[in-house]
Amino acid sequence: MCGIVAYIGQRDAHEVIIKGLKRLEYRGYDSAGIAVFNGGLNVYKKKGKVADLEAHVEGVALSSKIGIGHTRWATHGEPNDVNAHPHLSGSGKLAMIHNGIIENYASLKKDLISKGHVFESDTDSEVMIHFIEDIWENEGCSLEEAVRLALNKIIGAYAIAIISKDNPNQLIAARKGSPLVIGVGEKEFFLASDATPIVEYTNEVVYLNDLEIAVIENGELKIKTNEDTALTPYIQTLDINLEAIEKGGYEHFMLKEIFEQPKSISDCMRGRVNSQNGTVKLGGIYEYKNKLLSAERIIILACGTSWHAGLVAEYFFEEYCRIPVEVEYASEFRYRKPVIKEGDVVIVISQSGETADSLAAIELAKSKGAIIFGVCNAVGSSIARMSHEGAYTHAGPEIGVASTKAFTAQLTVLSMIAMMVAHEKGNITVSRFHELLTELETIPQKIEKALELNDEIKVISEIFKDARNFLYLGRGYNFPVALEGALKLKEISYIHAEGYPAAEMKHGPIALIDEEMPVVFIATRDSSYDKVVSNIQEVKARKGRVIAVVTEGDALIPKMAEFVIEVPATDEALMPLVSVIPLQLLAYHIAVLRGCNVDQPRNLAKSVTVE
Ligand code: G6P
């Protein structure tokens, strides 16, 4: 959460920063601010979006060759002008932006207050910059050294950038637990929480690692560890282009990303699946592949939508690989003293690759000797780098806060892994393996077909846009799809929605059903079809309003449901890739009709880098 951008070079820093903050706004959008050298070190900040900050500084001469900017997702202190970043040190000589949480801020603050420091905001970040300055003044050392000494006493997560009144040619940055990418140009440098603000200027980047400090001065980048060891910056080349991070004619990023799914899934499979030769090759899984093949159990760790992808994978791995799977919320796993044995296999799923709980959970599993396979979308992200091996989802940057194309790409990668394991272990026949591969290759066309339902779903959305509650029900592989459908709706439309296994409805949710309750059934033709049909009858008998996602040509359910949405048939194990599409569209249209900010829903952030 929170997006940070900084610049040093010959361009107008404020232009680079404002543009960059807009690209990072998906990370937080309750307030924004910028600090530049325009005749002195000045800070401008405003509650609201980056556009509000822009309006606030209209007419102010902001021209500067160095600057730092921030878009905030509040943790400590309500979203207002004062709590917005950048924060100044006590003397006003230092300005800092921070993404993360300082856990020992209360004790540091107490000490600093006793030394006479006065704080303006309620944030942990302001404490951090006061603390740095306090060391700087008392030790009489360089600023760089003061930052290093301070960071060694700070507990928590941070990605920071600091500029100082005394030296307008120097930018200092550091990270621990929150992402920070440095774009390397011709005698200019860009710093950001991810590469999207950087990509239009340079494709050469350095990913700062945890416990590293970067000092950029006089056109040179130096990196050292928190223990004062100098390192050689490792420059990598970015593989994203500008179109991938723009709306491309769509009204919202979310809609663009929903419609991109046939392509993102094809990209995800490219060079990996070949049904003609009967192969699945995942380049990132080789050295530890045997661990996966011989695993006695698999633990899947994830949060949010990625956790739902993990639940689908559980069905797949258990059915086809015959390996027991536990799917865990990373946030629970990390604190509940889980039993992890040397050689246990952990699959961590994360779009951003930066989710704090997922990171901490794999750190724990790794420390106990588990082998970590990462399924991440963001290339070079912390989770990707921390995993032993893994497979990228290659869905391209996902900007809409509600995850769509990353989810289906995760399902694709997880299916490929499961098929590979099942085949190599000899758990499935060669013909069944070929059948699954061939079917997987048809998924992009089937999604294309499901996307043609857009107008039909818009009509259904009009009818239900004022509902106060929604129930989503499914069984088997479609149960996690019910959870995902409900999550999409509540995230972006603020309608209360619950996903349940259809049979569990009788143990509680059925009490909620009356003539006002829309119930979305994911009722495609599969092994639990007949059971789901009975569940639909139970809802009908209580006058619930049934919207059913069914397989094309279904003759029975259309007689019972008020609305049916027909999706192309596919293998039961792959159906979530198709059946989730109408649910994404339903949530999208309802949210738009309710006037909600679809790409930046209230209180949410795309990348949750705080626990
Ligand atoms: C946030 C996002 C969700 C995402 C979840 C996990 O809540 O808004 O869309 O599913 O984090 O994120 P990850 O990047 O680890 O998949």
Model pLDDT for residues 198-233, shown as the tens digit of each residue? 999 999 999 999 999 999 999 999 999 999 999 999
Contact 403 CB / ligand 1 (< 6 Å)? yes
Among 46, 109, 256, 606, the active-site one is 606
pLDDT tier for residue 604 given thresholds of 50, 70 and 90: confident
Nearest C-alpha to atom 7 of ligand 1 is from which residue?
Answer: 304
Contact 401 CB / ligand 1 (< 6 Å)? yes
Write the burial class of residue 225 (CB in 10 Å: 0-12 exposed, 13-18 middle, 19+ buried).
middle
Composition of the chain by helix, strand, coil, percent to 5: 40, 25, 35
Helix (H, G, I), strand (E, B) or coil at 371: strand
Measured in Å, residue 422 CA sits from the centre of ligand 1 at 29
165 carries an active-site annotation: no
Place of tokens 């050298």: 37
pLDDT value for 280? 93
Task: Report the mean per-residue pLDDT for the chain.
Answer: 94
**491 CA closest ligand 1 atom index:** 8
Contact 306 CB / ligand 1 (< 6 Å)? yes
Nearest C-alpha to atom 1 of ligand 1 is from which residue?
Answer: 606
DSSP alpha helix (H) spans, 368-453: 382-386, 405-425, 430-451
- Which of 26, 301, 305 best tests ligand 1's pocket when mutated (most atoms within 8 Å of CB)? 305
pLDDT value for 249? 86
Q: Is the model's pTM score more than 0.75?
A: yes
2 carries an active-site annotation: yes
CA 404 to chain centre: 11
Structure-token pair, residue 524? 């495609």
Mean pLDDT of 57-63: 92
In this predicted structure, the answer to whether residue 484 has a pLDDT above a threshold of 90 is yes
* Measured CA distances, 146 to 37, 131, 142, 197, 428 (Å): 22, 9, 6, 29, 60
Structure-token pair, residue 218? 């006089």
Contact 382 CB / ligand 1 (< 6 Å)? no
pLDDT value for 222? 97
Q: Give the angle 570-575-576 at the CA atoms, nearest 5°.
A: 160
Mean pLDDT of 413-418: 98
pLDDT in tens, 105-121: 999 999 999 999 999 99
Contact 303 CB / ligand 1 (< 6 Å)? yes
Contact 305 CB / ligand 1 (< 6 Å)? yes
Among 2, 303, 321, 376, the active-site one is 2
**305 CA closest ligand 1 atom index:** 10
Measured in Å, residue 402 CA sits from the centre of ligand 1 at 8
Contact 331 CB / ligand 1 (< 6 Å)? no
- Which of 411, 492, 606, 609 best tests ligand 1's pocket when mutated (most atoms within 8 Å of CB)? 606
pLDDT value for 348? 98
Measured in Å, residue 226 CA sits from the centre of ligand 1 at 30
Mean pLDDT of 181-193: 96
In this predicted structure, the answer to whether residue 609 has a pLDDT above a threshold of 80 is no
Picking from 467, 470, 502, 468, the residue whose alpha carbon sits closest to that of residue 485 is 470
Contact 405 CB / ligand 1 (< 6 Å)? no
